[in-house]
Amino acid sequence: MEHLQLDWNNLGFNYMKTDVRYISHWRNGKWHESYLTEDNHLHISEGSTALHYGQQCFEGMKAYRCKDGSINLFRPDQNAARMQHSCARLLMPMVSTAQFIDACKQVVKANERFLPPYGTGSSLYLRPFVIGVGDNIGLCSAPEFIFCVFCIPVGGLFKGRLKPSNFFISDYDRAAPNGTGAAKVGGNYAASLLPGSEARAFGFADCIYLDPMTHGKIEEVGSANFFAISNYNTFVTPRSPSILPGITRASLIELAQSRLGLNAVEEDVYIENLGNYKEAGACGTAAVITPIGGIYYKDRLHVFHSENEAGPLTQLLFNELTGIQNGDIEAPAGWIEKV
Ligand code: PLP
Ligand code: COI
């Protein structure tokens, strides 16, 4: 394998064309013609529903190089299940868990030279997606679909390894109470572009959305879930039908309980009660665990543990999660799929 000269320790989260991507077409009631291609452009009809009506969904997951040279996928069955939910919500055909995982493995293997080395803190980000394509203009489901998986080597989404970031409470909603917030569909992210850019213009990493019904409770970040550690050492993350059910978040609930011996609950986090929490963080595949230094709300910055360093329980959670992903710490049964 040819060795790439990339700055593996400082990658950030940027598009890069890697060698090949996986493509499968859905036509006449089934998925077929799966292949790997070097072409990173899709040639689709101007009438494609993905272009006009947002009929598309995507996933985000990572492959990690372990110390022994093997390659880990972290809970890919959970990403497959979430994509099936997203497809069902947008009236698209589902990709089976077996096909999803097989596609991801093929893409990792064929792009192995882009897989960051062990110990760099970087990983290979996989972006599976399904789009509605084909000639159409009426507001109805597409006649055909494409399932694609591509990959890029990435480092941190925010400042990087356990550096706290400040977040801004948005006046906008990203999703409606009975809308598509729990599905990983492009429309949610299009809706978050303007609020996110405004937050960044004010020097914040991103914004945090409140619940669309009462605007009194924290929901999530535009690209990650929210968690906090209460003053009584409970791991807390919001329960809401309009947040994305994150796989990192679900994993942290389990690890907080089983490995750190903490209570872990899904419950309302009231924006007026931030003083009840001594640490906070954003968690997700791309965000990993990003400590939240402070939250800006009503003209003041509420600082949790510190604006400069992660709190002690956030650090322990980070070590446990990334240790499992990198293969250094034994994973709970079924969490790691070897490529
Ligand atoms: N919430 C949003 C809006 C996201 O985009 C993501 C990232 O995928 C998450 C939460 C975290 O989900 P996961 O941990 O499955 O990556
Ligand atoms: C992920 O963490 O996989 C995401 O989808 C985040 C992305 C929107 C930047």
CA–CA dist 125, 63 (Å, integer): 7
- 84-110, pLDDT tens digit by residue? 999 999 999 999 999 999 999 999 999
Distance 308 CA to ligand 2 centre (A): 24
Distance 330 CA to ligand 2 centre (A): 25
Distance 334 CA to ligand 1 centre (A): 20
159 belongs to the catalytic site: no
Neighbouring residues of 154: CB distance < 8 A, sequence distance ≥ 6: 11, 12, 13, 14, 62, 122, 123, 124, 125, 286
Judged against a pLDDT cut of 70, whether residue 1 lies above it is answered with: no
pLDDT band per the 50, 70, 90 thresholds, residue 129: very high
Is the CB–ligand 2 distance for residue 60 below 6 Å?
A: yes
pLDDT at 169: 96
Relative to beta strand 288-297, strand 165-169 is parallel
Residue range(s) occupied by CATH 3.20.10.10 in the chain: 165-325
Q: Which of 61, 157, 185, 192 to mutate to test the pocket of ligand 2 (most atoms within 8 A of CB)?
A: 157
- Percent of the chain with pLDDT strictly greater than 70: 99
pLDDT at 2: 66
pLDDT at 5: 84
pLDDT band per the 50, 70, 90 thresholds, residue 161: confident
Q: What fold characterizes domain 165-325?
A: D-amino Acid Aminotransferase; Chain A, domain 2 (3.20.10)
Distance 170 CA to ligand 2 centre (A): 19
Asked if residue 155 lies in contact with residue 122, where contact means CB atoms within 8 angstroms, the answer is yes
Residue range(s) occupied by CATH 3.30.470.10 in the chain: 8-154
Asked if residue 262 lies in contact with residue 233, where contact means CB atoms within 8 angstroms, the answer is yes
Segment holding 86, helix H or strand E: helix 76-89
Is the CB–ligand 2 distance for residue 286 below 6 Å?
A: yes
Its pTM stands at 0.95
Is the CB–ligand 1 distance for residue 246 below 6 Å?
A: yes
pLDDT at 265: 97
User: Which tokens sit at 191?
Assistant: 């809706």
Would you give the DSSP letter of residue 293? Answer: E
Judged against a pLDDT cut of 80, whether residue 339 lies above it is answered with: yes
Judged against a pLDDT cut of 90, whether residue 307 lies above it is answered with: no
From the list 142, 146, 141, the residue with the least C-alpha distance to 31 is 146
Average pLDDT for 17-31: 96
Is the CB–ligand 2 distance for residue 246 below 6 Å?
A: no
CATH 2.40.10.340 assigned to 8-154: no
CA–CA dist 294, 286 (Å, integer): 20
Catalytic one of 184, 217, 278, 338: 184
Q: Which ligand is nearest to the CA of 321?
A: 1
Q: Which atom of ligand 2 is nearest to the CA of 60?
A: 3
